[in-house]
Structure 1
Amino acid sequence: MSISDHAGSAEAQLRKGFGPRVRKLHARIGKAHHKAEGMAFSRALLEGQATPLQLAALIRALVPAYALLEQEGPALASALGAAAIPWPDLARGSALAHDVAALSAVGPTPVSAAAAIWLEQMKALVRQSPHRLMAHVYVRYGGDLSGGQQLAEQANAILRRQGLSSLRFWSFEQDLTWLKQSLHDGFEQMDLSESEEEELLEEAEVAFGATQRLLAELADLG
């Protein structure tokens, strides 16, 4: 069963209320989303077969990317008119720091080449195309609030079986439906030209490509 198969009634209701830009984003990234779900690490995690080492590698690889998004994203989003995005409630920095410390007992993992490439791509967007960086914001946080919740259930079960602490990365204090709606509202608010909107959609596919490279890397650790 895939992440997409787990969508509940609240998620279905939310989709009915998608604005035009969010609808376009979902249409553009749908194929890439299903491809990511079908990759070896994703399947292993959903089936409860991923290893603590793979989970530690994932969490460690995400730290620099989220640090960049949370350092640069709020001001860039505000400049584009996206006032509704609840950055403090979405922020993952503290959760990632907790999880990195909790997973220290797992042992070392290789430095992620995929994450390093992704980070450099996003740094370039901060300087050159802030609206494109917002595609990475959407893919990451939107995914964490949706399919990430199913991944969390499996990841935490795997860790508990090994006597390890549950991850906080996918745990949000605020209501998930409210967070998703606020994120979507922020994206609908962005003041983009027609060409900038198309670039936003293109970059969403690039963001999924970055995820796919990371997932392929994690599968090799299995």
Structure 2
Amino acid sequence: MRLRAFSAFSCFLWGQAFQAPNSRISTTSKSFYNPSVIKMTEATVVESARASGLALQLDEGTRKSHSVAENTAFVTGFFKGVSSREQFSRLVASLYFVYDCMEEAFDTCPDERVNALDYGSLRRKESLAEDMEFYFGPSWKETVSPSPATKKYMKHIQNVSKSEPYLLVAHQYTRYLGDLFGGQMMGNMARNSLGLHNEGGLGTRFYTFDSIKSTKQFIEEYYTKMNTLNFTEAEKEKIVEEANVVFRLNIELFDELEGNGFVSAIKIAFAAFKDKISGN
């Protein structure tokens, strides 16, 4: 069952890897009377917001600073999580506590630049709370506590929100855009592997963004907004550094999960996936 999910995953990655996200082609047709020419089509190249500004710096900076082996830990970790409901529930629990802490930091953040990227449609705490009740029952708040790696992640968020709150932009970028890019695919993988298709979405609510109709359009608008924010060059560099810290913290979450991932089999596939996220 996991192998079937992996096959679908690989096909998706390779199918998407060669798209060019830094520009898009729009065509407009002009019809006019001419004995020899009936119709002329003009092609206009429109630059994507991902091709400039902080958006480009984040995409470039996070891609270059991680080896394929390190990045594989993300997908490997997901396969560890979907090997059983018990293990997947542990992953859900870690994500709940991280998002609870992260979104609380957004609520109290005094930096308007962070607030500008705090879209309600991206927030995950409520969806994760539904998943927590599905796996752990109605009393889960009294029975489930964060793991050591989760506590470390939470502590880092709290420290950043107090000392340099503008760095929370890196957390928004790394977590939310990753969730959007892979949400539908990962949700389907989990439902297939764990037999959740008859649960009406319960157990995988985290991966569903009901109010975002077009992921591609939303992310383009998100990057456009990001590029309008007034960050200094020094601040942009620190945001990129913080995004890489967030990647490492997430790797540590996955490393806590028990089980074996398909490391050697998915290195190439994940490289393609990371290229898609990073804009290649």
Same fold, judged at TM 0.5 (above): yes
49 and 127 in structure 1: CA distance in 2 versus 1, 3 angstrom threshold: closer
**Distance in 1 separating the partners of 2:169 and 2:55:** 12
Residue aligned with 1:192, SS: coil
Runs of 5+ in structure 1 lacking a partner?
none
What count of residue pairs does the alignment treat as equivalent?
218
Residue 66 (1) aligns with residue 99 (2): yes
- In the alignment, what sits opposite 1:54? 87
Structure 1 Cα separation of the partners of residues 228 and 12 of structure 2: 27
Tell me which of 135, 147, 158 is aligned to 1:123: 158
| Change in 2 beyond 3 A, CA 1:109/1:159 | farther
For the pair shown, the structure with the greater C-alpha radius of gyration is 2
1:142 aligns with 2:177: yes
Q: How far off is 1:156 after superposition?
A: 1.5
- Stretches of structure 2 lacking an aligned partner (at least 5 in a row): 1-8, 24-47, 262-280
* Residue number in structure 1 paired with 2:113: 80
The answer to which structure has the higher strand fraction is: 2
Partner of 2:235: 196
Question: What TM-score, normalized to structure 1?
Answer: 0.81
Change beyond 3 A, Cα 1:193–1:28: same
**What do you get for the CA RMSD once the two structures are aligned?**
3.4
Rounded Cα–Cα distance in structure 1 between residues aligned with 2:60 and 2:221: 20
Residue 168 of structure 1: aligned partner = 205
Aligned to 1:5: 13
1:38 aligns with 2:72: yes
Alignment-mate amino acid for residue 13 of structure 2: D
Q: Is the 8 A contact 2:96 2:128 kept in 1?
A: yes
Q: Which moved more, 1:155-164 or 1:198-207?
A: 155-164
Partner of 1:50, secondary structure, is coil
2:72 is aligned with what amino acid? G
| Alpha-carbon distance change, 73 to 116 in structure 1, aligned in 2, over 3 angstroms | same
SS in 2 for 1:146: helix
* CA 1:221–1:81: 2 relative to 1, 3 Å: closer
Contact 1:89 1:172 in 2 (8 A): yes
Give the deviation of 1:98 after TM superposition: 0.5
Give me the identity figure in percent: 22
Query: Whole-Å Cα distance in 1 between the matches of residues 16 and 124 of structure 2?
Result: 24
**TM-aligned CA distance change 1:210 to 1:14, over 3 Å:** same
- Judge conservation of contact 1:2–1:37 (CA < 8 Å) in 2: no
Contact 1:54 1:218 (C-alpha < 8 Å) held by counterparts: yes
CA distance in 2, matches of 1:34, 1:160: 31
Q: Cα distance, 1:80 vs. partner? A: 2.3
1:174-208 CA distances to partner (integer Å, 9 max, x unpaired)?
12223322332332122111111100010010000
